Amino acid sequence: MANGSNPSGDNDNQGMSGLQRWALPALLVGLLLLFLFSGPLAPQGPEVPYTRFTGLVDKGAVQHVVVRGHQVTMTFREKQPVGARGKKVRQATTRVPLFGGDKLMDRLEKANVETTVREQRQTGWWWILLLLLVPWLFLMGMQFFQWRRMGGGAGGGGGGFGGFGGGLTQSKAKRVTREDPTTTFDDVAGQDNAKREVAEVVDFLADPERFRDVGAEAPHGMLMVGPPGTGKTLMARALAGEAGVAFYHQSASEFIEMVVGVGAARVRQAFEEARKNAPAILFIDELDSIGRMRGTGLGGGHDEREQTLNQILSEMDGFSGHEEVVVVAATNRPDVLDPALQRPGRFDRRISLELPDVKARRSILELHAEALPLAADVDIDRIARGTPGFSGADLKNLANEAAIRAAREHKKHVTYAHFDDARDSIIMGSERALSITPDEHYRLAVHESGHTAAAHFLPNADALYKVSIIPRGQALGGTHQIPEEERYTMPEDYLRDRIGVILGGRCAERIFLGTVSSGADDDIKQATRIARGMVTRWGMADDIGPMDLRQDDEQPFLGQQMAQPRQFSDTTAHQVDEAVRAFLTAAEDRVMRLIQDNREAVENLVQALEEEETLDRAGVEAHLGARPAVAAAGEADA
Ligand code: ATP
pLDDT in tens, 335-361: 888 888 888 878 888 898 988 888 899
From ligand 1's centre to the CA of 292, what distance in Å? 23
Atom 16 in ligand 1: residue holding the nearest Cα: 393
What 8-state DSSP symbol labels residue 91?
A: E
Please check the confidence at residue 12 and state whether its pLDDT lies above 50: no
Count of beta carbons in the 10 Å neighbourhood of residue 360? 22
Q: What is the pLDDT of residue 229?
A: 92
Q: How many angstroms separate the CA atoms of 216 and 401, rounded? A: 48
C-beta 232 within 6 A of ligand 1: yes
pLDDT band for 85, please (50, 70, 90 cuts): low
Q: Contact, 338 vs 293, CB < 8 A?
A: yes
Average pLDDT in the chain? 79
From ligand 1's centre to the CA of 2, what distance in Å? 27
Atom of ligand 1 nearest to the CA of 356: 27
* Top-confidence residue, 434 or 603: 603
Q: How many angstroms separate the CA atoms of 511 and 589, rounded? A: 12
Least confident of 75-84, 195-204, 264-273, 285-294: 75-84
Please check the confidence at residue 124 and state whether its pLDDT lies above 90: no
Atom of ligand 1 nearest to the CA of 393: 16
Q: How many angstroms separate the CA atoms of 527 and 584, rounded? A: 7
Q: What is the pLDDT of residue 167?
A: 38
Active-site positions read 448
* Top-confidence residue, 623 or 310: 623
* Top-confidence residue, 617 or 124: 617
* Top-confidence residue, 613 or 125: 613
Atom 11 in ligand 1: residue holding the nearest Cα: 231
From ligand 1's centre to the CA of 192, what distance in Å? 15
The radius of gyration of the chain from alpha carbons, rounded to an integer in Å, stands at: 37
H/E segment holding residue 362: helix 358-369
Least confident of 313-317, 362-366, 445-449, 527-531: 313-317
From ligand 1's centre to the CA of 396, what distance in Å? 8
For the segment 499-527, the average pLDDT, to the nearest whole number, is 93
C-beta 346 within 6 A of ligand 1: no
pLDDT digits (tens, 9 = 90+) for 582-601: 999 999 999 999 999 999 99
From ligand 1's centre to the CA of 228, what distance in Å? 8
C-beta 334 within 6 A of ligand 1: no
C-beta 189 within 6 A of ligand 1: yes
User: Which of 34-48, 143-157, 223-237 is the most confident on average?
Assistant: 223-237
Instruction: Pick the closest to residue 427 from 369, 457, 387 (CA basis).
Output: 387
C-beta 188 within 6 A of ligand 1: yes
C-beta 393 within 6 A of ligand 1: yes
Q: Contact, 625 vs 535, CB < 8 A?
A: no
Q: What is the pLDDT of residue 170?
A: 40
